[in-house]
Amino acid sequence: MDAREVEVILRPVELGDLDVFFDQQLDPEANAMAAFTSADPTDREAFDNHWQRVLSDNTITNRTILAADHVAGHVAVYKADDLDGPEVTYWIGKRWWGRGIATRAVEQLLVKVPTRPLYGRCAETNPASVRVLQKCGFRMVGEDEGFANAHGKVVRENILRLDG
């Protein structure tokens, strides 16, 4: 095991995790990477409404990522409206970056959710996220663009796909 690596475990999201997720999604650098973020990451009411929606939607598989027993982030698979398969998404708290945690969390969720094809989208501002998906076997299949709240302008994005 790489010296940077810590034990990574996925478990269902608990309401007590939301305070940590909220803090993690406040980080400006993380927002700039993700690009397609909420309109106002400091709006706790909007954040809570979002999580209430996703946690009550049984078509979405949400998991909390534990790293060395700490809440390091979250990962989910949800239905993508404009693609022929669901999409994976993830967010890791900055203090945990660069230790293979996103990669191992996605790998573990891929075992739990065997649906293929499975997609991932990464803004062009997010090469680290492209790398995470590529390490998990996803291949670049297209491009798109959309308005990115974090940048206040249209940003291009890469679409990656994992086939059976």
Ligand X SMILES: CC(C)(COP(=O)(O)OP(=O)(O)OC[C@H]1O[C@@H](n2cnc3c(N)ncnc32)[C@H](O)[C@@H]1OP(=O)(O)O)[C@@H](O)C(=O)NCCC(=O)NCCS
Interface pick for ligand X out of 132, 148, 160, 162 (rule CB under 6 A): 132
| Residue 155 binding ligand X, by CB under 6 A | no
For 21, 34, 67, 92, the CA distances from 156, given in Å and listed in that order, are 26, 12, 31, 22
Minimum distance from residue 9 beta carbon to ligand X (Å)? 14
Interface pick for ligand X out of 28, 128, 146, 163 (rule CB under 6 A): 128
Interface pick for ligand X out of 12, 23, 43, 98 (rule CB under 6 A): 98
Q: Which is nearer to ligand X, 46 or 128 (CB)?
A: 128
Q: Which is nearer to ligand X, 55 or 108 (CB)?
A: 108
| Residue 97 binding ligand X, by CB under 6 A | yes
How far is the C-alpha of 55 from the C-alpha of 52, rounded, in Å? 5
How far is the C-alpha of 164 from the C-alpha of 154, rounded, in Å? 32
Helices 127-135/101-112 angle, 10° precision: 50
| Residue 118 binding ligand X, by CB under 6 A | no
Q: Read out DSSP for 86-118?
A: -EEEEEE-GGGTTSSHHHHHHHHHHHH---SSE
Contact positions toward ligand X, by CB under 6 A? 30, 33-34, 90-92, 97-103, 122, 126-129, 131-132
